[in-house]
């Protein structure tokens, strides 16, 4: 959620930090602030609202120049989005500055303890107690990293903390527990951030930070320890995209750019996973084949858009492997006492690799002895590190809050896992697997074709900008696509939108149908699931007879739907299980254009954050 940047080196810390915060705006925030060490003092500024408010304040009251600093974009939890509650928070003596992502669950008791000792608290936040605790610890230890380790031992909850102290002008210290933090390694300069996007313009070398670790940055190097002070093993890795990938590239919005990048993203996810004979070679899946062959149940855990990818994956996994598959909302998973054992394969899907609900679900699964495979887009993030294996989607940075290319690449990765299991278990013959892989290899081109025909969809979206409700219907794999289409509209257009299984229409939802109500229907192929196709055509007739405005997504050559479609959106002919890869794209374009027509902020919808790192 919150964006964090820290810097120590030879450049202007303020310039580096502000630029880094701008690259993290996509995460969602409601206030921003910075602190710089200069002339033996901590100088800070913070403002509620967008970064432009902070920049305006810095023009009016410039901070002194320094080469060590920290910055923050806050997503309000404890205390509203005000100037006072914005980060950084500073102790009473003005020597320590702290920024924080996460929630400190025992802050109330700590706050009472500190006020009893004479500390004055100026904000409503949980973060402020850390600044005061660090100041106390530093007064007796004289070492910021050691003080951070001591303080972290007293904190409960999930947190990333980054701090500076006026008495150590060339040091930035960070700590993480259940919340993302990554180190950027430059030439005589080092960076800390909640996402590599913050420093990608300066370096593409990064260091993973593990759970319960403290990192100390100095101009001459980095030291990482655990909370007890023991040196930790670190792994430096190379970021395989550059700063230009995180820019808009001429598009009005990141979301538009990311929708357009989907053909390449899909192709990149397939790259290197198919050998010369057409078989799958998922080398990064380090789970022994005997374990995968022995699995008698698959459980997918995910949130939001990733959950919809999991719902589609269930159809493929069960059809191609004959293994029962359950799909669970990660936020509910561990609270319902799920039945797991050593023969259960858990697939955790997360774009960021830091989704807290999904992380806690996979930890619960591993505690029960299950094997965990992560599907993720972010190298070095927590979920892949804590899983038994990972399949990276290679989608590149996704900056817009509403997920597009991450969703399609998650689907491709799920198909690869399903086929791989079928290959290992012998439930699919080699020629069958090769046939599906050939179809998957064509999908990138088919997505490109869909994108070339989207102007009528944009025009339709603009015409519906004044509507209050849109319904979505689908059957089979089209049902999760309907759910995803409704979610995109809720996220971006702030409209009431619901997705339903079309077969459930007469069991309640048909009561919602009224004159001129837009209803989007995702039609299955008449070739692959002809019985379902006939039934959904009947559904379209039912709602149209009651005055609905039917928006029909159907494959090329499907003429049976033409008489009942007020608006017809054609998609290429694809195998039934792969159809979501093309049928989802018009719904992304539809939601983006409708939100734009309503004057909404497409990349940063209200109340939403890109990565939900608290439960």
Which residues are tagged catalytic? 2, 610
Whole-number Å distance between alpha carbons of 381 and 17: 22
Whole-number Å distance between alpha carbons of 133 and 119: 10
Local structure of residue 586 (DSSP, 8 states): H
Preceding peptide of 88 cis, ω within 30°:
yes
Local structure of residue 272 (DSSP, 8 states): T
Instruction: Please name the helix (run of DSSP H) or strand (run of DSSP E) that holds residue 147, with its range, or none.
Output: helix 144-152
Query: Could you give the angle at which helices 262-270 and 405-425 cross, rounded to 10 degrees?
Result: 20
Closest CA to 99 of 79, 68, 127, 57: 127
Local structure of residue 274 (DSSP, 8 states): B
Tokens of residue 373, six digits: 């495979």
Whole-number Å distance between alpha carbons of 68 and 350: 33
Task: Give the neighbor-by-neighbor strand order of the sheet with 344-350.
Answer: 325-329, 297-302, 344-350, 371-376, 389-392
Residue 210 CB-density burial (10 A; 0-12 exposed, 13-18 middle, 19+ buried) = middle
Whole-number Å distance between alpha carbons of 455 and 517: 22
Tokens of residue 457, six digits: 């969809």
Distant-in-sequence, close-in-space partners of 354: CB < 8 Å, separation ≥ 6: 179, 180, 378, 381, 382, 383, 611, 613
Distant-in-sequence, close-in-space partners of 144: CB < 8 Å, separation ≥ 6: 134, 138, 163, 164, 165, 168, 171, 173, 216
End-to-end CA separation in angstroms for the chain: 11
Tokens of residue 245, six digits: 């990938």
Distant-in-sequence, close-in-space partners of 66: CB < 8 Å, separation ≥ 6: 12, 13, 14, 36, 37, 38, 39, 43, 169
Closest CA to 134 of 42, 31, 33: 42
């Amino acid at each position: 959620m919150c964006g964090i940047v820290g810097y120590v080196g030879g450049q202007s810390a303020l310039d580096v930090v502000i630029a880094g915060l701008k690259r993290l705006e996509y995460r969602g925030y409601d206030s921003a602030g910075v602190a710089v060490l200069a002339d033996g003092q901590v100088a800070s500024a913070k403002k509620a609202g967008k970064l432009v408010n902070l920049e305006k304040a810095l023009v009016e009251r410039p901070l002194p120049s320094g080469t060590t600093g920290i910055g923050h974009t806050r997503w309000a939890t404890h205390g509203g989005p005000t100037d006072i509650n914005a980060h950084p928070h500073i102790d009473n003596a003005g020597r320590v500055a702290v920024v924080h992502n996460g929630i400190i669950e025992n802050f109330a008791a700590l706050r009472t303890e500190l006020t009893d000792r004479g500390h004055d608290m100026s904000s409503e936040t949980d973060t402020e107690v850390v600044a005061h605790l660090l100041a106390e610890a530093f007064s007796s230890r004289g070492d910021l990293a050691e003080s951070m380790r001591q303080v972290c031992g007293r904190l409960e909850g999930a947190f990333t903390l980054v701090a500076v102290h006026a008495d150590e002008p060339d040091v930035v210290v960070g700590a993480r527990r259940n919340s993302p933090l990554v180190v950027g390694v430059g030439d005589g300069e080092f960076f800390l951030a909640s996402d590599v996007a913050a420093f990608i313009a300066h370096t593409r070398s990064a260091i993973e930070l593990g759970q319960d670790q403290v990192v100390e940055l100095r101009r001459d190097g980095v030291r990482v320890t655990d909370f007890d002070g023991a040196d930790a093993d670190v792994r430096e890795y190379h970021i395989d995209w550059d700063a230009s990938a995180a820019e808009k590239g001429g598009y009005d919005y990141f979301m538009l750019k990311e929708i357009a990048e989907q053909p390449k993203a899909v192709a990149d996810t397939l790259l290197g996973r198919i050998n010369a004979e057409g078989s799958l070679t998922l080398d990064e899946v380090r789970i022994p084949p005997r374990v995968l062959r022995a699995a008698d149940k698959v459980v997918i855990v995910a949130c939001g858009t990733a959950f919809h990818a999991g719902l589609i994956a269930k159809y493929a996994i069960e059809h191609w492997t004959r293994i029962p598959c359950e799909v669970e909302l990660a936020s509910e998973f561990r609270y319902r006492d799920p039945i797991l054992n050593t023969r259960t394969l858990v697939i955790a899907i997360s774009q960021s690799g830091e989704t807290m609900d999904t992380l806690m679900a996979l930890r619960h699964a591993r505690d029960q002895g299950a094997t965990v495979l992560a599907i993720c887009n972010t190298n070095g993030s927590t979920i892949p590190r804590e899983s038994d294996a990972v399949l990276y989607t290679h989608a590149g940075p996704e900056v817009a809050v509403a997920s597009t290319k991450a969703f399609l690449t998650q689907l491709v990765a799920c198909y690869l896992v399903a086929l791989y299991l079928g290959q290992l278990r012998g439930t699919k013959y080699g020629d069958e697997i090769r046939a599906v892989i050939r179809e998957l290899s064509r999908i990138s081109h088919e997505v490109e074709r869909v994108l070339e025909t989207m102007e009528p969809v944009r025009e339709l979206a603009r015409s519906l900008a004044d509507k209050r409700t849109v319904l979505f219907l689908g059957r089979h794999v089209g049902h999760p696509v309907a759910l995803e289409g409704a979610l995109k509209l809720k996220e971006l257009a702030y409209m009431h939108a619901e997705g339903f299984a079309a077969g459930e229409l007469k069991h309640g939802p048909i009561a919602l149908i009224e004159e001129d109500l837009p209803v989007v229907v995702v039609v299955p192929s008449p070739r692959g699931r002809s019985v379902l196709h006939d039934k959904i055509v009947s559904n379209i007739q039912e709602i149209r007879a009651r005055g609905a405005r039917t928006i029909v997504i159907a494959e090329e050559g499907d003429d049976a739907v033409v008489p009942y479609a007020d608006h017809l959106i054609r998609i290429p002919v694809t195998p039934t299980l792969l159809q979501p890869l093309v049928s989802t794209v018009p719904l992304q374009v539809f939601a983006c254009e409708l939100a734009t027509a309503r004057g909404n902020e497409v990349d940063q919808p209200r109340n939403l954050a890109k990565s939900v790192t608290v439960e």
